[in-house]
Amino acid sequence: MANVPEMIDVPNALKSKVSYGPDGVDAATIERAEQIIAGMQDQYLVWVQEDLRKIQAGYDKVRAMPVEDRKDSIRYVFDVAHDMKGQGGSFGFPLMTNVANNLCRFIETRPQFGNAEMDAIRVHIDVLRLIMAEGITGDGGPRGEKLMRGLELVVEKFAK
């Protein structure tokens, strides 16, 4: 028997908590908030070094394991990469987001992590480190495009 949807009107308690006025959120407020995000870039440069250290340490640990034990442990590398993906673009380093995204997708889709897969992960980590070492902001222009294409070629080998 098909389920009959039960529709529920929810009292909008939030609406009663807000008001409207000239000192409310407007375009200038949003712009100030965007500037605050941009202004945190200096802090990001410190945080990302810690993330790079964590992802390398996580990688080294997994690499030292027997192949059959790597699948579960690679999750830590994924989680750090996922954090880096979320942060990079917010702080002016969208290429970090793109590379970390590529790495996350690769880890998600591999059934196992032999040495070839681990080499591919290492290349991604090396590129993340390179971007920060050279301070490649924005999408990196032609250099960024070349780096991304190189990583895509690395991943494509595993799709065959």
Distance CA 98, CA 84 (A): 10
Greatest pairwise CA separation for the chain in angstroms: 63
Instruction: Judge contact between 84 and 48, C-beta under 8 A.
Output: yes
Interface characters, 48-87, with another protein (x: CB under 8 A): -------------------------------x--xx-xxx
Q: How far apart are the first and last CA of the chain?
A: 45
Distance CA 85, CA 26 (A): 29
138 binds another protein (CB under 8 A): no
Q: Which one, of 138, 150, 63, lies nearest residue 96 by Cα? A: 138
DSSP assignment letter at 2: P
Please report how close the Cβ of residue 145 comes to another protein at its closest, in angstroms: 17
Please report how close the Cβ of residue 23 comes to another protein at its closest, in angstroms: 7
139 binds another protein (CB under 8 A): no
> Which residue number, 10 or 153, has a Cβ lying nearer to another protein?
10
Give the helix/strand (H/E) hosting 138.
Answer: none
List CB contacts of 144: < 8 A, sequence separation 6 or more.
95, 98, 136, 138
Interface of this chain with another protein, residues 19 to 38, rule: CB under 8 A:
19-26, 29-30, 32-34, 36-37
> Which residue number, 91 or 113, has a Cβ lying nearer to another protein?
91
Query: Which segment (39-47, 60-68, 111-119, 123-131) binds another protein by CB under 8 A?
Result: 39-47
Options 52, 70, 77, 88; binder of another protein; rule CB under 8 A: 88
- Where does this chain bind another protein (CB under 8 A)? 2-10, 12-15, 17-26, 29-30, 32-34, 36-37, 40, 43-44, 47, 79, 82-83, 85-91, 94, 97, 100-101, 104
